Amino acid sequence: MAAGTTVETAGSTAVAPPHLIDPVEVAIRTRTPEDPARARRFEDTDPPRGLDLARSPRVARILRDRKFQFLLILPNQIIFWLVIGIGLVGTVDPGLNFATAITWYLWFCLVFVMMVVVGRAWCAMCPFGGFGEWVQRHTFFKRTTKSIGLGLKMPESVAQYGFLLSVAAFLALTWIEEFFNIAGPGNPADTSFMVLGIVSSALLFFLVFERRTFCRYVCPLSALIGSVGSMGSVAGFRTRDREVCQRCTTKDCMRGDADGYGCPWYTWPGSADSNLACGLCSECYKACPSDNIGLYLQKPLTSVVMPSRRRADVAWAVAILFGLVVYQQLNALTTFANLDSWLNAHTFFPHYPNPVSYVGIIGAVAVVMAVVAAGFQRAFAAEPSLPERAGRTFVDRISPFRAYFLPLMYGIIPVVGADYFARQLPKFFQHLPRVPVSIGHLFGFGTVRSSLYNASLISSNAGIIAVQVGVMVLGTLAAMWTSWRVAGRDLAPVSRHPRAVQVSAAGFALALGIVTAILYVLMNAAD
């Protein structure tokens, strides 16, 4: 592991990895002044900012309005409280119950579309974080000076794991969903209990910790949205003039002022080189006294290819998340079902999913990703001990393994995102028409005899498989392009065979795409 950054806190010293902790973030989290020299994080390799939407007077007026995020969150807040209530007291037929129909036939698929197109758009309107934040600030949108709760900081010893905390939460939630067949969909009340559990967990964290600690570190979707969302065309809020940002002594964008709270995600716009952790809440924009922050659009995949500081937690998150979606594909095959039943019989576990196979397959896929990276290192590294790279290094010093593992995992983000999206399509195509039926059922005229109840957008399995394979083809092509670009930028300068490492990285992405596409054919549109 690379040498860490020493952070002084009250009576203790912690070491935080430099690829996870920004110097200004450290200053805000520990309430100590940052070192101006270390705050100069701009590099020639920082991504181009793109189109600044906030230059439009109309957009600027909307972003400065304190009702902006409230009005984004409110519709989803209403819908999700309806989901909770109707799931508990409505019909037990999952196809007629609004809670299960809108959650599993529509919402989950739309979230992935938003990730790929916009990035963290869902975070800007999320009802879970929104509700917790309203309670924490004890206001819907006005600027208050005191918050409710303990206001603790996430310990650096925990925060250093970054997205891995979110991945662990996502794995746990997915296993619970599979065990109780919540997304089958099963009993609508189970969907309500799951949503209530997420809301309650979020509220607890908002009352114990400051700002959006839950959203950045613990939310089950944060790692998935952050990594897959890096494909999106919204770069997030970033500084306009580097020199103005560097000279700023107050850092109101982080600390807050009378106009804004400061970034709830601890993301300094002055050092952001991707949309990884920008929740699009506009608080930094409101708080900047120099009007030096804009909301930028970028070319798709920019936040995958261009970051100059790649993060180990993101790379491992991508590997583990890929393992999870591969597990979900394998569990639809007869061979896997037999393996799971065999494990249940020998471990005395009641039914699918057996935790041994669940953790084992996910872990095995992640290990394979690491082995491939080690193979790249062995085959292409210019020398046994990789020297420090000048100009484009993403940490001060980096181990030979991580020098290959991080770029390779960033490069396959598009194929992982496509795999997750394709996995949602059978429910979407087969059962989406039940959403309007479930809405009609609330008013007494939607029934199982409705023509829409048994309708589907694509009726044949062959049609669904064709779309799934098509999605994987697009994702694979995008992953081959990003892998080629990332390898050319990060690996070629330190490899014995620069062109060969690019070809091999693109070939690795192609192999993953082929394997996952074949699995969709074998699954035969199983949902």
SS (H, E, C) 347-406: HCCCCCCCHHHHHHHHHHHHHHHHHHHHHHHHHHECCCCCCCCCCCCCCCCCCHHHHHHH
| pLDDT of amino acid 66 | 93
Mean pLDDT computed over 469-490: 97
Per the CB < 8 A criterion, the answer to whether 486 and 502 are in contact is: no
SS3 36: helix
Q: Mean pLDDT check: name the lowest of 15-19, 301-305, 428-432, 444-448.
A: 15-19
Crossing angle for the helix pair 163-179 and 312-330, nearest 10 degrees?
10
| pLDDT of amino acid 280 | 94
- Quote the tokens at residue 189: 């009340």
Residues 477 and 481: their CA atoms lie apart, in Å, by 6
Residues 163 and 55: their CA atoms lie apart, in Å, by 32
Mean pLDDT computed over 202-225: 95
Mean pLDDT computed over 177-198: 94
Quickly count: other Cβ atoms within 10 Å of residue 496's Cβ.
11
Residues 297 and 111: their CA atoms lie apart, in Å, by 19
What are the tens digits of pLDDT across the range 58-88? 999 999 999 999 999 999 999 999 999 999 9
- Quote the tokens at residue 457: 């957008």
Asked whether residue 169 carries a pLDDT value surpassing 50, the answer given is yes
Task: Tell me which residue of 480, 479, 505, 501 sits closest to 492, measured CA to CA.
Answer: 501
17 alpha carbon, distance to own chain's centre: 20
Residues 69 and 112: their CA atoms lie apart, in Å, by 21
Mean pLDDT, the chain, whole residue set: 87
Instruction: Kindly state the DSSP code that residue 299 receives in the 8-state scheme.
Output: -
| pLDDT of amino acid 47 | 52
What are the tens digits of pLDDT across the range 377-411? 999 987 654 444 444 443 334 688 999 999 999 99
- Quote the tokens at residue 247: 């000279």
Give just the sign of the alpha carbon dihedral 181, 184, 187, 189: positive
Asked whether residue 26 carries a pLDDT value surpassing 50, the answer given is no
* DSSP string over 68-119: HHHHHHHHHHHHHHHHHHHHHHS-S-TTT-HHHHHIIIIIHHHHHHHHHHTS
- Quote the tokens at residue 269: 């716009």
Per the CB < 8 A criterion, the answer to whether 392 and 307 are in contact is: no
| pLDDT of amino acid 49 | 67
What are the tens digits of pLDDT across the range 243-277? 898 889 889 999 999 999 989 999 888 888 889 99
| pLDDT of amino acid 4 | 39
Asked whether residue 283 carries a pLDDT value surpassing 60, the answer given is yes
Residues 215 and 221: their CA atoms lie apart, in Å, by 9
What Å distances lie between residue 328 and 44, 158, 425, CA to CA?
41, 29, 13
Reading phi first (left if > 0) and then psi (alpha if -120 to 50, else beta), residue 50 is in left
Contacts of 72 (CB under 8 A, 6+ apart): 124, 125
- Quote the tokens at residue 124: 């800007």
| pLDDT of amino acid 24 | 44
Residues 284 and 274: their CA atoms lie apart, in Å, by 16
Asked whether residue 485 carries a pLDDT value surpassing 70, the answer given is yes
Task: Tell me which residue of 94, 210, 227 sits closest to 170, measured CA to CA.
Answer: 227
Q: Mean pLDDT check: name the lowest of 13-27, 124-138, 279-293, 499-513.
A: 13-27
Asked whether residue 201 carries a pLDDT value surpassing 90, the answer given is yes
- Quote the tokens at residue 310: 């790649």
- Quote the tokens at residue 213: 């600690």
